[in-house]
Amino acid sequence: MDTSKKNRSRWLLLSLVIGSISLFPIACIGEPFLSGSAIDQSGSFVSPKGGYEASLGVNIDGGVLTLNIVSKSDGRRSKAIDDVTGIFWISENKLLYTVSPMYGIPGIFVFDCKKMKTERVLGPKTFRKRRPYGADYFELKEFVEGKIYFYYSPDVELTDFYEFRTKKYLYQINLDGTEFKKVED
């Protein structure tokens, strides 16, 4: 089996395991993005062409997900990123992810695997003495046609997590950080 067929098989298996994830390119000229639902469970997730691997593992100290990204060609690794709440490959070398304020620095980020650098798309708006890096809670839902959909609360300590994954907390933002707004019915 050639490498591309093997990778397609992996992606198909991953989609069956996760459920509603869609890993097919958007039919939009000039947009090299993928669309689909975020991954929010532990495991290893290979980039679309297989050049990079994102691993989400449970941190035994806090029970939160820690993200590590590895280049399969040269073995370069990212720094470990704690308290990741969701990831999504938006292209072969760019990984979108969200971080909670409990043990991490909250926000929405894009990791450039070629440069091994992170760019913040959206950061926290609320700061507390107990949460000097931000109290905002971010959880990636999906990425569709260049728009990031995510659940958001400005203060993790005041969030009703029984209702959190509902439209009440659903927001969107463009990948370039513009047009941050609540998703309306």
Domains defined along the chain, listed by start: 3-182 (2.40.128)
pLDDT at 15: 30
Tokens coding 42: 């532990």
Write the DSSP string, 46-67: E-TTSSEEEEEEE-TTTS-EEE
pLDDT for the residue numbered 34? 56
Q: Which of 89, 136, 133 is closest to 110 using CA atoms?
A: 89
Question: Which mean pLDDT values do the consecutive 10-residue runs of the chain (185 residues) have?
Answer: 42 30 26 60 92 92 90 94 95 96 96 96 96 96 95 96 95 97 90
The model's pTM is 0.80
The CA distance from 8 to 31, in Å, is 20
